[in-house]
A and B are shown apart, each in its own frame.
Chain A
């Protein structure tokens, strides 16, 4: 695989600065998360279930409010401008869109209607929208074949394609992609990530993706952040993270055998935390 890092400019597209998120006014979930996404980069947000990945993405896309979540500290900037007070609709217009965990297709709408809802905020006319529809179909030919099928009756892989295609229809600069691999067979996961890489390379779409599948995420991303309990505990280039012993042991499942050293106690405690 070619390292996409070469394409990445150094300009920061999105920066999240030390945000704190509270649900229901009492449940503190993010305890100061900071991260940066460069223009045209693919950045992975990694961590176990419950670490706060989804919450981070929803804080950015401002889908938090609909879940009684609030950003109580910190700031979020996109293209150098504060975006944490914008509504999700305004954000979509600015070019930031989220593909939610679990796909969330409109089940009773057809595949094509699902895609068209992605163009809801656009005002550039039907011709442009139809051009982009064809573009989405060129990335996901399977959706073209099934364009009249009710989305609820399509397979998990197809639904993930619908969800990504729907987001593409908004002409985004940046897609926040939440657990695209969840519940999909390995070769489908590979296909989805291939498309992410192609969209990044050919359409210039920037990705921030949350994944529990650390292995595949680090193969396609240029940079990664590891989240634990609402904090970033580690970050680095994908290559660095792949070689990091902690990441290897706890996220990639590569054990280095019986290592007796000063870190064992710490590992043990952390392992316990992950398992509970």
Chain B
């Protein structure tokens, strides 16, 4: 039983990562209808910038984090200026292709600015097992993972308050609902896009920190974006809770399947489990678990 709980917990922790990347997708998709292919690369770029600021400029951790947030906001502003502004009213597929281009640009920029070697991200997050969990429940779990989960929870709570309670948050939801009506009351879409890409950039930074602390900052980080796709199919493209819960389900599902079913089929289930699950969902529940209810008025 303990072993099963350990498997589930470690799945949950991996799931948190998927959730964060999917969350970035959902935010941008809701506010602008853009499927942002570059979300994973944004996480990589943020982590690279963080490490770079610490290593090359000797910034202390807190200053490096603030600096990286500033860079992500500047990046959002630049993306709006150079890319989105000129593509308003274009077909979604054109915007999607633009974000593919953006992914390559960001990857290249990360390379040029910070180099392409694998970097160690050490934020002083304690390593090793959580003694408390081990002592009280006899469960082995990494401190880093607990830290990651708590951070993600705080981030999500913070975002929830931001969206529900602030004037800007309300405007973001208004744009997501009906961008024409939002324009009509004087909400500037340009401002909203900068804000939403900034938020997505900060979420990407948190994802980048977590993944980077665990496996080092390297290109494979941008590949977790591929795992976000099944998460989105599961949770629904426009649902924030869907992104979070979808990520956890896939994280847990693939770990459990790997450990308990893997031995019978020769392993490596973890690599394709998410896609299989997504396929099942596409067949039987294409709107996802939490796909937004379309309100139909009679």
Q: Which residues of chain A have a CB within 8 Å of any CB of chain B?
A: 61, 63, 66, 68, 87-89, 91-93, 97-100, 104-109, 113, 116-118, 120-121, 150, 152-153, 155-156, 159, 166-167, 170
Contacts A63-B180, A92-B185, A118-B185 known; 18 new A-B pairs at CB < 8 A? A66-B179, A66-B183, A89-B183, A89-B188, A97-B184, A97-B185, A100-B181, A104-B178, A107-B295, A108-B295, A109-B170, A109-B177, A113-B170, A117-B185, A120-B171, A120-B186, A152-B295, A170-B186
With CB as the reference atom, state the residue of chain B lying closest to A122: B186
Contact residues in A for B170 (Cβ distance below 8 Å)? 109, 113, 116-117
Is the CB–CB distance between A107 and B177 below 8 Å? yes
Whether, in the assembled complex, B269 has its beta carbon less than 8 Å from a beta carbon of chain A, the answer is: no
Assuming the A-B contacts A106-B174, A106-B177, A109-B170, are A120 and B185 also in contact, with contact meaning beta carbons closer than 8 angstroms in the complex?
A: yes
Contact residues in A for B187 (Cβ distance below 8 Å)? 89, 117, 120
Give CA–CA (A118, B183) in the complex, Å: 11
The B contact surface, by secondary structure, is: helix
Is the CB–CB distance between B171 and A100 below 8 Å? no
Is the CB–CB distance between A104 and B297 below 8 Å? no
With CB as the reference atom, state the residue of chain A lying closest to B292: A108
Is the CB–CB distance between B184 and A63 below 8 Å? yes
Is the CB–CB distance between A109 and B173 below 8 Å? yes
Give CA–CA (A153, B181) in the complex, Å: 17
Is the CB–CB distance between A105 and B181 below 8 Å? yes
Is the CB–CB distance between A106 and B89 below 8 Å? no
22 A–B contact pairs at CB < 8 A? A63-B180, A63-B184, A66-B89, A68-B89, A88-B186, A89-B186, A98-B184, A100-B180, A104-B180, A104-B184, A105-B178, A106-B177, A106-B178, A106-B182, A108-B177, A113-B170, A120-B171, A120-B186, A150-B295, A153-B297, A155-B297, A170-B185
With CB as the reference atom, state the residue of chain B lying closest to A94: B186
Q: Shortest distance in angstroms between A211's beta carbon and chain B's nearest beta carbon?
A: 18
Whether, in the assembled complex, B56 has its beta carbon less than 8 Å from a beta carbon of chain A, the answer is: no
Is the CB–CB distance between A100 and B184 below 8 Å? yes
Give CA–CA (A32, B176) in the complex, Å: 36
Q: Shortest distance in angstroms between A246's beta carbon and chain B's nearest beta carbon?
A: 33
Q: Which residues of chain B have a CB within 8 Å of any CB of chain A?
A: 88-89, 167, 170-171, 173-174, 176-188, 292, 295, 297
Give CA–CA (A100, B188) in the complex, Å: 17
Q: Shortest 9 CB-CB distances between A and B: which pairs?
A: A92-B186, A152-B295, A104-B181, A121-B186, A106-B177, A89-B186, A106-B174, A117-B174, A89-B188
With CB as the reference atom, state the residue of chain B lying closest to A126: B167
Is the CB–CB distance between B174 and A109 below 8 Å? yes
Contact residues in A for B174 (Cβ distance below 8 Å)? 106, 109, 117
Give CA–CA (A251, B187) in the complex, Å: 37
Contact residues in A for B188 (Cβ distance below 8 Å)? 87, 89
Give CA–CA (A113, B172) in the complex, Å: 12
With CB as the reference atom, state the residue of chain B lying closest to A90: B186
With CB as the reference atom, state the residue of chain A lying closest to B177: A106
Give CA–CA (A101, B181) in the complex, Å: 10
Give CA–CA (A152, B176) in the complex, Å: 14
Contact residues in B for A68 (Cβ distance below 8 Å)? 89
